[in-house]
């Protein structure tokens, strides 16, 4: 979604409330593609004229996603909440858009259009879960047969011998003699 600050500046309104829609259906973060759940999300945006100093914008959001548990690969629903705000100064009735630097506000175009998808993506990435898990103690999948160990057990031998014990068992088996 795009919101023109220039159009708001030229309007007679002092304040405007906007319900923001996020246009992307999914987000890919470190190889995990997460579906965006539009119905379970809401993001607000408020535009305000600050006298002749400029325009401020602020809002808050709660955005919900479904991704894969990094251990058992089952679907996990999670949501990210955030607040955001910014300001653009006005001089002689014109928006003063700062030059975009590399890490700058690339979501604000030189003609005063806020690219809300870019702005929201930035907020989401900052708060993205480090590791997506269905639950803290998810047991994951059996590395041998792939059984989801949260749901059932298998009889695979996944015992990893302690290397120090391996030496002792070598002695018992006469390998060192
Ligand atoms: Zn899991
Ligand atoms: Zn198994």
- 10-24, pLDDT tens digit by residue? 999 999 999 999 999
Nearest ligand for residue 151 CA: 1
Give, in degrees to the nearest 5, the angle at Cα 79 between 150 and 152.
5
| Domain annotation covers residue 12 | yes
Measured between alpha carbons, how far is 65 from 84 in angstroms, rounded to an integer? 19
Examine the domain organization and report whether 152 and 122 are in the same domain.
Answer: no
- 33-43, pLDDT tens digit by residue? 999 999 999 99
Measured between alpha carbons, how far is 147 from 117 in angstroms, rounded to an integer? 39
Nearest ligand for residue 147 CA: 2
Task: Compute the distance from residue 141 Cα to the ligand 2 centre, in Å.
Answer: 8
Quote the tokens at residue 126: 């900052």
Nearest ligand for residue 136 CA: 1
pLDDT at residue 176 tops 80 = no
Examine the domain organization and report whether 12 and 61 are in the same domain.
Answer: yes
Quote the tokens at residue 107: 């979501």
| Domain annotation covers residue 14 | yes
């Amino acid at each position: 979604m795009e919101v023109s600050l220039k159009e708001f500046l030229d309007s007679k309104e002092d304040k405007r409330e906007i319900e923001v829609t996020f246009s992307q259906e999914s987000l890919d973060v470190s190889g995990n593609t997460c579906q965006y759940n539009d119905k379970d999300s809401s993001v607000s945006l408020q535009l305000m004229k600050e006298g002749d100093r400029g325009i401020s914008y602020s809002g808050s959001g709660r955005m919900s996603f479904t991704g894969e548990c990094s251990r058992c690969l089952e679907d996990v629903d999670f949501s990210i909440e955030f607040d955001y705000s910014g300001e653009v100064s006005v001089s002689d009735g014109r928006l003063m858009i700062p030059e975009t630097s590399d890490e700058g506000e690339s979501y604000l175009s030189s003609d005063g259009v806020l690219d809300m998808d870019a702005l929201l993506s930035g907020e989401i990435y900052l708060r993205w879960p480090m590791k997506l898990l269905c639950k803290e103690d998810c047991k994951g999948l059996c590395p041998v047969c792939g059984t989801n160990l949260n749901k059932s057990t298998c009889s695979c031998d996944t015992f990893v011998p302690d290397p120090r014990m391996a030496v002792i068992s070598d002695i018992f088996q006469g390998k060192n003699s």
